[in-house]
Structure 1
Amino acid sequence: MQCAHEQRWMISRRVFLRSAAGATLASLSCSPGNLSIRSQGSIRFGIVADCHYADADAVGTRFYRESLDKLAECVARMNAEGADFLIELGDLKDQDRRPVESRTLRYLQDVEAVLRTFQGPMYHVLGNHDMDSISKQQFLSHIENTGIDIARSYYSFDAKDLHCVVLDANYKAEGSDYDHGNFDWTDANIPAHELDWLRRDLAMSRGPVVVFIHQLLDGIGSVYVKNASEVRKVLQSSGRVFAVFQGHHHEGSYNHIHDIHYYTLKAMVEGHGPDSNSYAIVEAQPDHNVTITGYRKASSLELSGTRLSQIEPSPSCA
């Protein structure tokens, strides 16, 4: 039998949901494309990025205070669809214009409380804003990564036959941690000790692998990890990584490099009102088809090899 990483992975598309404002759980049960019906043995996980929650007035297109309600909708959808796990891709919280550590920690506690209403395993990726006025240790001590040591900012876990790797690029060029806003957000790096760990972890994996990270790995520029090309080489050489899920770039994006799909989820914080929400469900089938379903403004894509097609959203369910 052919190994999982030797099979062609295909990401097929489910419809894009635009549910009515103030959607209830009853309306959430009306899933696009009968998403609740899954193939035996498939795995389904939820992703959300860039909540940036703070009890603060909007600045530009960022509506910080609205992220609690948006996230509650996301979690309700994940529960209704029976997601096997939920992972947030960084920048879970934000801060006041004049940062106060105690208030920042309260914002983190409030948004984490919403996430914890998810009825399954839950995981976090660290984003730069998660250390804007607190330390990594403070952030990690106020959140829960199911089954993961509280001190770990990068780690891996298995979900059915899928191996999941969470990376932390919140290190300055010389290798020190982001801490209390002591960083330039464009200086994101995966340090040597984390790369060594990544090589070992991938070498021990026996099945297909997905990677989760906040800053982007698929290019060069301010929103990308500085040593992204080095990280990509590690992923490519393993022969098992088929997809990377990212946040940070609020507009979202897609790329395909050396048989690995790079999907950047649009930010939840951007835009006023429920229709500006953004989250997605990814489902991997036993036959090696994978479905990404984007909700509200998140993109639903059809990927086959190096081809990408973006399908027009279907009407909302009645």
Structure 2
Amino acid sequence: MSYPHPLTSLQRELLGDVAELYALPDVRSAPLSSTLRFGLIADPQYADIDTAKNLYYRHALQKLPQAIEQLNQQPLDFVVTLGDLVDRDWNSYAPVLSIYDRLEHPHVIVLGNHDAQTITQHLNDAAALPKSYYAFQLADWRFIVYDGNDVSLYCNALNGDDRATAEAMLVDLTEREQPQAKPWNGAVGKSQLMWIEQQLQDAQQQDEKVVVFGHYPLAPHNTHNLLNGGELADLLTSYNIQCCFSGHDHRGGSAIIGQTGFFTLKGMLDGAEDVPFAVVEIEGDVLRITGYGGEISHTVDRRLL
């Protein structure tokens, strides 16, 4: 396992129970079977505020337990939350984390833009916004989690020039009329890109299959993409990884580039009743995504691509 940016003692003290969001997942020593199986949840985005348009902020406290109950009934190697556990307010984390305590599977956590903004406001320039990219392994699989808040407007004064870099990227993308030039999107920095490529090289040398998770989508190209999503997508496809999963764009979406599938999960926040989540099964070259609660199902056979 690799976590290049462990929390400092000050960050850990200031974050309290929320520090667990930066912990490496406590995965089992071996998969449950020859078929890799994991669950996916995206954007519960809880806040104790009134509904706005189709965004039902308080409903996460009813929706999330339903998804977790169903996921607990299935034999899974782990469950991934693809970001935005909360929408705003530091006090939102306590009720959400207490619900996740019911999850019986190892929990892989991706931090979203709303998480980053909430955490930065809490730290209030007393400590830098922590980085949250890491990798973990399970048998002959390597899983890479990228941090799209690495270079973003959510960084604070103690994050060096990361925020200024994000501002410059936004100006450049806006001038080039790129759809992802939005203040709610972030990027992966140069150091993280180098680290991701090193992970891909190591996996290739060890003959490991690779799955990637992140909050900001890389494809298809739209307003919710990682600011430098094209660059990261090109890197991942150049190593012919199996698949990449993200959240952030609550509408969901998918794209196939070469032999790599890019899938965006629908946001749990949207709608009064829908509880979208998914279970992914990978056996050999066949990827099956079973969608629940309005989530889209997919089957991809890489041998046919």
TM-score by length of 2: 0.73
**Cα gap change, 1:130/1:49 in structure 2, threshold over 3 Å: closer, same or farther?**
same
Q: Are residue 54 (structure 1) and residue 47 (structure 2) matched?
A: yes
C-alpha displacement of 1:289: 2.2
**Alignment-derived partner of residue 86 in structure 2:** 93
**Alignment-derived partner of residue 197 in structure 2:** 199
Question: Helix, strand or coil: the match of 1:135?
Answer: helix
Structure 1 or 2: more helix by fraction = 2
**Alignment-derived partner of residue 268 in structure 1:** 268
CA distance in 2, matches of 1:39, 1:121: 12
C-alpha displacement of 1:128: 0.7
In the comparison of the two structures, how many residue pairs are matched? Answer: 245
The answer to whether the 8 Å contact 2:285/2:303 transfers is no
Matches within 5 A, 1:202-217: 202-205=200-203, 206=206, 207-217=208-218
CA distance in 2, matches of 1:115, 1:130: 16
Q: After superposition, what is the alpha-carbon deviation per residue over 1:235-280, rounded to whole angstroms, capped at 9, x for unaligned?
A: 12223x110101111111110112110111111010012xx11000
Structure number with higher relative contact order (C-alpha < 8 Å, ≥ 6 residues apart)? 1
Q: Which amino acid aligns with 1:111?
A: V
Matches within 5 A, 1:160-179: 160-170=139-149, 171-172=151-152, 175-176=162-163
**Cα gap change, 1:283/1:109 in structure 2, threshold over 3 Å: closer, same or farther?**
same
Question: Helix, strand or coil: the match of 1:66?
Answer: helix
**Alignment-derived partner of residue 297 in structure 2:** 300
C-alpha displacement of 1:125: 0.8
The answer to whether the 8 Å contact 2:218/2:225 transfers is yes
Q: Which amino acid aligns with 1:107?
A: S
Q: Which amino acid aligns with 1:130?
A: D
Question: Helix, strand or coil: the match of 1:225?
Answer: coil
Matches within 5 A, 1:4-23: none
Question: Helix, strand or coil: the match of 2:270?
Answer: coil
**Cα gap change, 1:307/1:70 in structure 2, threshold over 3 Å: closer, same or farther?**
farther
Q: Which amino acid aligns with 1:133?
A: T
Unpaired segments of 5 or more residues in structure 1?
A: 1-37, 96-103, 139-150, 309-318
C-alpha displacement of 1:152: 5.0
The answer to whether the 8 Å contact 1:245/1:264 transfers is yes
Question: Helix, strand or coil: the match of 2:291?
Answer: strand
Q: After superposition, what is the alpha-carbon deviation per residue over 1:169-220, rounded to whole angstroms, capped at 9, x for unaligned?
A: 1122862399xxxx96344111101001101111111311111111111144
**Alignment-derived partner of residue 234 in structure 2:** 233
Question: Helix, strand or coil: the match of 1:255?
Answer: strand
CA distance in 2, matches of 1:280, 1:54: 23
CA distance in 1, matches of 2:86, 2:254: 24
Q: Which amino acid aligns with 1:272?
A: A
The answer to whether the 8 Å contact 1:186/1:222 transfers is no
Q: Which amino acid aligns with 1:172?
A: S
Unpaired segments of 5 or more residues in structure 2?
A: 1-30, 124-129, 154-160, 171-181
Q: After superposition, what is the alpha-carbon deviation per residue over 1:96-126, rounded to whole angstroms, capped at 9, x for unaligned?
A: xxxxxxxx22211211221121112111111
TM-score by length of 1: 0.70
Q: Which amino acid aligns with 2:95?
A: D
CA distance in 2, matches of 1:126, 1:39: 26
C-alpha displacement of 1:293: 0.8
The answer to whether the 8 Å contact 2:220/2:253 transfers is no
**Cα gap change, 1:80/1:186 in structure 2, threshold over 3 Å: closer, same or farther?**
same
Q: After superposition, what is the alpha-carbon deviation per residue over 1:63-82, rounded to whole angstroms, capped at 9, x for unaligned?
A: 11111221111111111002
Q: After superposition, what is the alpha-carbon deviation per residue over 1:141-171, rounded to whole angstroms, capped at 9, x for unaligned?
A: xxxxxxxxxx650001113332111011112
**Cα gap change, 1:177/1:250 in structure 2, threshold over 3 Å: closer, same or farther?**
farther
Q: Which amino acid aligns with 2:103?
A: F
The answer to whether the 8 Å contact 1:256/1:306 transfers is no
